[in-house]
Structure 1
Amino acid sequence: MNLKQSIEEMIKQPDYEPMSVSDFQDALGLNSADSFRDLIKILVELEQSGLIERTRTDRYQRKQSNKTNSKLIKGTLSQNKKGFAFLRPEDDEMDDIFIPPTKINRALDGDTVIVEIQKSRGEHKGKIEGEVKSIEKHSVTQVVGTYSEAKHFGFVLPDDKRIMQDIFIPKGQNLGAVDGHKVLVQITKYADSTDNPEGHVSAILGHKNDPGVDILSIIYQHGIEIEFPDDVLQEAEEVPDVIEPSEIEGRRDLRDELTITIDGADAKDLDDAIAVKKLKNGNTELTVSIADVSYYVKEGSALDKEAYDRATSVYLVDRVIPMIPHRLSNGICSLNPEEDRLTLSCRMEINERGEVVKHEIFDSVIHSNYRMTYDAVNKIITDQDSEIRSQYKDLTPMLDLAQDLSNRLIHMRKRRGEIDFDINEAKVLVNDEGIPTEVLMRERGEGERLIESFMLAANETVAEHFNKLEVPFIYRVHEQPKSDRLRQFFDFITNFGIMIKGTGEDIHPTTLQSIQEEVEGRPEQMVISTMMLRSMQQAHYDDVNLGHFGLSAEYYTHFTSPIRRYPDLTVHRLIRKYLIENSMDKKEIRHWEETLPELAEHTSQRERRAIEAERDTDELKKAEYMIQHIGDEFEGIISSVANFGMFIELPNTIEGMVHIANMTDDYYHFDERQMALIGERQAKVFRIGDTVKVKVTHVDVEERMIDFQIVGMPLPKKTSSQRPAREKTIQAKTRGKSLDHTKSDRNGKGKKKKRKQRKGKNARKKDKQGNTHHKPFYKDKSVKKKSRRKKK
């Protein structure tokens, strides 16, 4: 059998899974350059013959007739606030399918739908176009929005602009809401071809202008519960405030060892403590002790069920929504100073190279000696502040040793290829009324790095221990980036003179690490780090150990934060079951084999929900903060470029947009390969990483958008399609305005179509499929191009 026949046989096997070129090489034992060329030639021939096709991840799968011809595809709808949507197919190897606004057919963002592919959009980056034929499952069950009263009914304008339909509220179903109230609506009837969705008001959050209602609306929009149920609070009340002597029996007593916590100044839930000492053999002993939350939160209890549902604490600009009640998180589970606390400890012996050569995992009791802050630790070990060092003279020798150990761990991780995404982060400070007063950069000093290094070491050690036991476990995984995303990133950095050899397949983290080293200290460093981060896959939880690409770690889990993360609480339960209770019988193993896959998926989803809520509140308050800076000038860096303009990031991480219509000194074209806007006449170039000086011209808090103007570049003359110039005041957009459509040329001139006045619940103009009229975004582009050609 020759090579081509062998490949054909492999592909025709019933259990064949899509394979990359390197997969074929490994499977067939092809090691020479000649055999590689033969392989590529055969794969091309088989692709041309129709036996196989190449996926977007550069893998070869059997040609599927229903992947190119007219057919039905199932997936999840991802809607854009501009009206169009994409179908994300269940088959991960398939490309997203573009859905024009007129073919969404009343589906909502997140719905599981069946889409019929109708034509290929090859002229638009090869995207396929389709139409929603049926809705299999609705994702949206409740909506947050602003209530408006009509004569015999009401309607709610959703805050989520991806929901393009108002919610009809029948008479008597508004819970007493009046115009301007922010409300929570439970959908009782989904839209059909003629009617809008229908629902009833289940909660009134307050008037849209009341302090705190803006954040509250985001919390409810993401479905995050604030209050704990009564049975959960009752269980929390029954947990004792002190430790009984009988509870210490059988635990290793670490109360005589010098132990400290290091946290932010405003932290109240202290769940990790450290102890460091030098051993006689020259190695260093690191003990990481974590609050034993699993001792108090029993599996299957009301506390546990609520913690599972929340899965994570949520940290917003003005509040923390905890995973477990404050009575536990700030009380008996918090490692407060000068108090005995029950813990689970990971003790590691670490050599001069930063390698863990020996470890133990056990239940323990500690007595924290000091509650240290990052600021104080940084003054001791970085600033060598004599006054602070004198104040903590009993502690400074251990902190000096801890800093040395931290540096060894950092160098060890760097040697193996860890990618340190040192991205700027900011914290928005608000007053009692929720008004932003300051935007501060988060510091990452030696104290922060020290704790990070010690927690990483403990997490890796625990993960490796249980992986080698070959028992069901939950891991924190970060898979290798997809080759197409990496290729795009490699193309992008060529604009900065950085060339990477290879295809993006099976790349080692050290390659990306070398890129970071290359751009360190350069103006484009932060932009390249951000673009690199965007090319990565998202870390998540999994019951299968897939390694952690970003850390270049073979084993990783989350063990160190059981107060605020449910996976960590689960890891503690597994430690208790497997190591402390020695419960590893078939029944126990089967229980976790059945439980962990769903648990990993659920907690990953909840984590994403929390991140989205945190991002939304940050963006909201950053926009609100910039109102007071309208008219002010700042220097920023171009962080993103698109065909409609460019985004500028200020040193405090606040981002705003310069619209292409306001770039009046030339006609600018978008060059996707260079990620740049290039002037047609003067060849002036604006590309990612460039520094520009901008002026704040407009802020839309509702849309969380900030508009910039390039200093020295005059704005175009005011037309009906442009927003009027504003002083330091803000007028929120109405829902109606956001749905108006403007037909404009390159410089924004044009005439706006007027929207007819609403007369009833179904008065908004719709097409025959029942959708609000929207022009596909790609058609606007062709109009602009034609109009510009005429001017020539």
Structure 2
Amino acid sequence: MKKTDRKRNTSEKDSVFEKRKKVIYDFICDDLYVPMKAKEIAAVLQVPKEQREDLRAVLDALEAEGKIFVSAKGKYTKGQAKRLTGTFQAHARGFGFVIREGETEDVFIPEEQTCGAFQGDEVEFIITRQKESASLGGGERRMEGKIVKILSHTTTRIVGLYEKSKRFGFVRPDDQRVLKDIYIPEGKEKGAVSGHKVVVELTSYGGQDMKPEGKVAEIIGHINDPGTDILSIVKGYDLPMEFPERVMNQAERVAKDVSEADMAGRLDLRDWQMVTIDGEDAKDLDDAVSLTMENGNYKLGVHIADVTNYVQEKSALDREALKRGTSVYLVDRVIPMLPHTLSNGICSLNAGENRLALSCIMTVTPKGDVIDHQIAETVIRVDERMSYTSVAKILETQDEAERDKYRTLVPMFEQMAELSHIIREHRKQRGSIDFDFPETKMVLDENGRPIDIKPYERNTATKMIEDFMLLANETVAEEYFWRELPFLYRTHETPDDEKIKKLSTLINNFGYHIHVGNGVRPMEVQKLLGKAEGTPEEALIDRLALRSMKQAKYSPENTGHFGLAAKYYTHFTSPIRRYPDLQIHRIIKDDLRGRMREERIAHYEKILPEVALQSCVTERRAEEAERETVKLKKVEYMKERIGEEFDGVISGITRWGAYVELENTIEGLVHVTNMYDDHYEYFEEQYELIGAHTRNVYKLGQPVRVRVLGVDRLQRTIDFEFCEADSRQQSDRES
């Protein structure tokens, strides 16, 4: 066919399509028209079956133009549905959610309605289904929507595994929320070969039937090379590894020894007995503690490194610290917020060295009430660098060698243990919730391979420092709340009623109860955890309760901290590794030095919302990256143990299987196809799976024995199967 003929045919088709659009639009605009579904429109207009798809295309085109919209029940009406905007959060299973600023509830987006949106995209969407009663398991279904337009892409680079084909290449993204491989044209691979982990710069986001396209911007290393796995996560989360030269030069210039001029005008506490207590490997020691008795009361000093003395506002160091927001603690390395010259040097409260500090000195009664306090710029000299292990030996096991080695400090440690218990009980009485989850302790060899994974339990010393830091944070927050000055708080909102109702339903299956009325109180959650303490289901109840909580955040507005049952709370104690702490130190020092005039107040009121938002974003990023590196090493560890059996507890039930957590904190999934059943019955309200044929019951919190089936390093997942001989499996037809 000639080119002119093809053009003529295309033009004729377009003309026919436009005529059909006009016919359908005029029909829907008619005064006698009532909302109809597509098949009803086809019946009224006598559209032949073979042209039904053409009708659907016409309706879709009119909807895309905003001339008509389809209701939640699939009926078409004149006009445009209300268009909303938000941020798209993708899910590895294809669907996603849109988060709207100022709204507490997100909107579910089915897989077929995502419009090709990427994780983090700013999108325009419409609501297709309002909240309604769910048909399964009670409760309510969330709102559903449809993305109609992508306003902007935030994902510009993707990390993944490069694979070479004959005349092109493609990259399998590490981020499971990116559902399509990235097409790499010939000549755009930058020398990458199959097995290389790479950073891809996107040049096209693809479409309905077209893959995204990109070019290799950086080769991280081969997947089998030591360190490549962690570095891929670092690059994937865009974590800055190196400091700019300007920042490093500035750090070198300001990291001078403490001089007499530096100490002038400060409260001199160098003759006070004080220690730092940290993990054995810690190098950035930003808090020291002291304790004496005075008139029957405890005089507790929490002394925090005065980092603001070296990191001036708006300096290159300050801008870089705000950009990073926080130090990131990965399994094999730390990515610091500040250069090591500062964080491990002059800002670290090293024993025997003069150091500048910001101190909160509190007078605490034997009942745990803070009856007086002083916040001051100080100069200190730490007597001893202690570890949690060493202090625990002194206090818990009464280790003679350790007590003799630190005999001059033992009386203070014993008083600290007393005060810690008092403070903890005082918090408990007001309803503070204490989630005592074991963290994962990971031992790696010189090549970064995991050789041991086990729970890392808190001891007396870790709890003691936690209690003292919490008390200082509360004291500082309350002081500056009542001063009515601009400030940055750490807030934690009351949980949503829906989540508490769901928690109530779940725990009822274990014989527990929580009051569901006009808002839950922290005390009720605390009582629930107390009842479950020491029981087989303790870890599960703790986890379910935690999942019902909201995330804590930074805010210039003080709305209290639900989890701590505290009216006032902030982060004051870690300015080396958290920017919010650094920010409020500046505010405190401006106040102490009499600089808090109108101009300075206006300045802080302007910048604090931005600082709070940036701090929340970087905190989430750091948490996700830390979690991903732990998952990766757990997968590597279990790869060497395929076929082995382990004891565990069912930690989650979903439509695709049961999650099982082992005693060493590793979690894997038993897929429904591995449950010896053709299909299964899922009960959302009871949160259990029941085999359709065997009637085996799989419940939350149930002890089980599992066998390792396999692992997926790219997806960082572990697959289990239940052991058939496990006598603890239930097989009760009446369940």
User: Which of the five TM-score ranges fits, normalised by the shorter chain?
Assistant: 0.7 to 0.9
Residue deviations 1:556-614, cap 9 Å, x none? 000100000000111111111111x2111111000000000110011001000000000
Residue 113 of structure 2 corresponds to residue 99 of structure 1: no
More RCO (CA 8 Å, sep 6+):
1
Residue deviations 1:452-503, cap 9 Å, x none? 0000011001101100100000000111111111110011100011123333
Map 1:130-209 → 2, pairs under 5 A: 130-150=145-165, 152-192=167-207, 195-209=210-224
Deviation at 1:166, TM superposition (A): 2.7
Q: For structure 1, which segment, 310-319 or 422-431, has the greater mean C-alpha deviation from structure 2 after superposition?
A: 422-431
Residue 477 of structure 2 corresponds to residue 466 of structure 1: no
Q: Quick check: 1:643–1:669 contact (8 Å CA) kept in 2?
A: no
Residue deviations 1:341-393, cap 9 Å, x none? 11110000000111110000001111110000001100111111122111111
Q: Structure 1 residue aligned with 2:92, among 81, 85, 91?
A: 81
- The 1:632/1:149 distance shift into structure 2, 3 A limit, reads closer
Measure, in 2, the Cα distance between the counterparts of 1:333 and 1:203.
35
Deviation at 1:158, TM superposition (A): 1.5
- The 1:514/1:194 distance shift into structure 2, 3 A limit, reads closer
* 2:234 aligned counterpart, secondary structure: helix
Deviation at 1:667, TM superposition (A): 5.1
* 2:659 aligned counterpart, secondary structure: strand
Q: Quick check: 1:666–1:682 contact (8 Å CA) kept in 2?
A: no
Measure, in 2, the Cα distance between the counterparts of 1:83 and 1:232.
42
Q: Which residue of 1 aligns with 2:293?
A: 278
Q: For structure 1, which segment, 105-114 or 405-414, has the greater mean C-alpha deviation from structure 2 after superposition?
A: 105-114
Measure, in 2, the Cα distance between the counterparts of 1:675 and 1:123.
15
Residue 263 of structure 2 corresponds to residue 248 of structure 1: yes
Letter paired with 1:434: G
Deviation at 1:286, TM superposition (A): 0.3
Q: Which residue of 1 aligns with 2:663?
A: 651
Residue 540 of structure 2 corresponds to residue 527 of structure 1: yes
Letter paired with 2:718: I
Map 1:387-466 → 2, pairs under 5 A: 387-466=401-480
Deviation at 1:539, TM superposition (A): 0.4
Q: Which residue of 1 aligns with 2:23?
A: none
Letter paired with 2:617: Q
Q: Quick check: 1:69–1:117 contact (8 Å CA) kept in 2?
A: no
Measure, in 2, the Cα distance between the counterparts of 1:361 and 1:288.
10
Letter paired with 2:385: R
* 1:92 aligned counterpart, secondary structure: coil
* 2:569 aligned counterpart, secondary structure: coil
Q: For structure 1, which segment, 681-690 or 108-117, has the greater mean C-alpha deviation from structure 2 after superposition?
A: 681-690
Residue deviations 1:697-744, cap 9 Å, x none? 212222211111211269xxxxxxxxxxxxxxxxxxxxxxxxxxxxxx
- Quick one: percent identity of the two aligned structures? 46
Q: For structure 1, which segment, 680-689 or 188-197, has the greater mean C-alpha deviation from structure 2 after superposition?
A: 188-197
Letter paired with 2:306: D
Q: Which residue of 2 aligns with 1:516?
A: 529
Deviation at 1:203, TM superposition (A): 1.6
Measure, in 1, the Cα distance between the counterparts of 2:366 and 2:609.
38
Letter paired with 2:700: I
How many residues of Structure 1 are paired with residues of Structure 2 in the alignment?
644
Letter paired with 1:293: V
Map 1:316-395 → 2, pairs under 5 A: 316-395=330-409
Deviation at 1:684, TM superposition (A): 3.6
Cα RMSD between the aligned structures? 2.0
- The 1:506/1:193 distance shift into structure 2, 3 A limit, reads closer
Map 1:47-62 → 2, pairs under 5 A: none
Q: Quick check: 1:70–1:118 contact (8 Å CA) kept in 2?
A: no
Measure, in 1, the Cα distance between the counterparts of 2:174 and 2:80.
38
Residue 552 of structure 2 corresponds to residue 539 of structure 1: yes
- The 1:69/1:513 distance shift into structure 2, 3 A limit, reads farther
Q: Quick check: 1:226–1:321 contact (8 Å CA) kept in 2?
A: yes
- The 1:357/1:500 distance shift into structure 2, 3 A limit, reads same
Q: Which residue of 1 aligns with 2:567?
A: 554
Q: Structure 2 residue aligned with 1:113, among 111, 119, 123?
A: 123
- The 1:665/1:115 distance shift into structure 2, 3 A limit, reads closer
- The 1:491/1:445 distance shift into structure 2, 3 A limit, reads same
Letter paired with 1:255: R
Deviation at 1:119, TM superposition (A): 5.4
Residue 315 of structure 2 corresponds to residue 301 of structure 1: yes
- The 1:86/1:375 distance shift into structure 2, 3 A limit, reads same
Measure, in 1, the Cα distance between the counterparts of 2:579 and 2:379.
22
Q: Structure 2 residue aligned with 1:612, among 624, 632, 635?
A: 624
Q: For structure 1, which segment, 218-227 or 152-161, has the greater mean C-alpha deviation from structure 2 after superposition?
A: 152-161
Measure, in 2, the Cα distance between the counterparts of 1:73 and 1:560.
41
* 2:172 aligned counterpart, secondary structure: strand
- The 1:663/1:197 distance shift into structure 2, 3 A limit, reads closer
* 2:446 aligned counterpart, secondary structure: coil
Q: Which residue of 2 aligns with 1:493?
A: 507
Letter paired with 1:711: C
Deviation at 1:177, TM superposition (A): 2.2
Map 1:765-776 → 2, pairs under 5 A: none
Letter paired with 2:103: D
Letter paired with 1:440: K
Q: Which residue of 1 aligns with 2:684?
A: 672
Residue deviations 1:501-538, cap 9 Å, x none? 333x3221111111011111110011000110000000
* 2:509 aligned counterpart, secondary structure: helix
Measure, in 1, the Cα distance between the counterparts of 2:193 and 2:698.
48
Letter paired with 1:112: E
Q: Which residue of 1 aligns with 2:22?
A: none
Gaps of 5+ in 2: 1-76, 727-735
Deviation at 1:649, TM superposition (A): 0.5
Measure, in 1, the Cα distance between the counterparts of 2:529 and 2:80.
44
- The 1:117/1:443 distance shift into structure 2, 3 A limit, reads closer
* 2:640 aligned counterpart, secondary structure: helix
Deviation at 1:679, TM superposition (A): 3.5
Q: Which residue of 1 aligns with 2:704?
A: 692
Measure, in 2, the Cα distance between the counterparts of 1:648 and 1:340.
51
Residue deviations 1:167-218, cap 9 Å, x none? 3334443333222221112223333456433333222111122111111011
Q: Which 4+ residue blocks in structure 1 deviate beyond 4 angstroms?
A: 118-125, 150-153, 192-195
Q: Which residue of 1 aligns with 2:21?
A: none
- The 1:712/1:410 distance shift into structure 2, 3 A limit, reads same
Measure, in 2, the Cα distance between the counterparts of 1:644 and 1:142.
31
- The 1:214/1:364 distance shift into structure 2, 3 A limit, reads same
Deviation at 1:90, TM superposition (A): 4.1
Q: Quick check: 1:117–1:129 contact (8 Å CA) kept in 2?
A: yes
* 1:289 aligned counterpart, secondary structure: strand
Measure, in 2, the Cα distance between the counterparts of 1:338 and 1:395.
15
Q: Quick check: 2:161–2:195 contact (8 Å CA) kept in 1?
A: yes
Residue 245 of structure 2 corresponds to residue 230 of structure 1: yes
Letter paired with 2:384: Y
Measure, in 2, the Cα distance between the counterparts of 1:606 and 1:401.
38
Q: Quick check: 1:665–1:713 contact (8 Å CA) kept in 2?
A: no
- The 1:684/1:155 distance shift into structure 2, 3 A limit, reads closer
Deviation at 1:82, TM superposition (A): 2.1
Measure, in 2, the Cα distance between the counterparts of 1:396 and 1:477.
36
Measure, in 2, the Cα distance between the counterparts of 1:390 and 1:397.
12
Q: Quick check: 2:188–2:215 contact (8 Å CA) kept in 1?
A: yes
Measure, in 2, the Cα distance between the counterparts of 1:170 and 1:594.
47
Q: For structure 1, which segment, 382-391 or 337-346, has the greater mean C-alpha deviation from structure 2 after superposition?
A: 382-391
* 1:399 aligned counterpart, secondary structure: helix
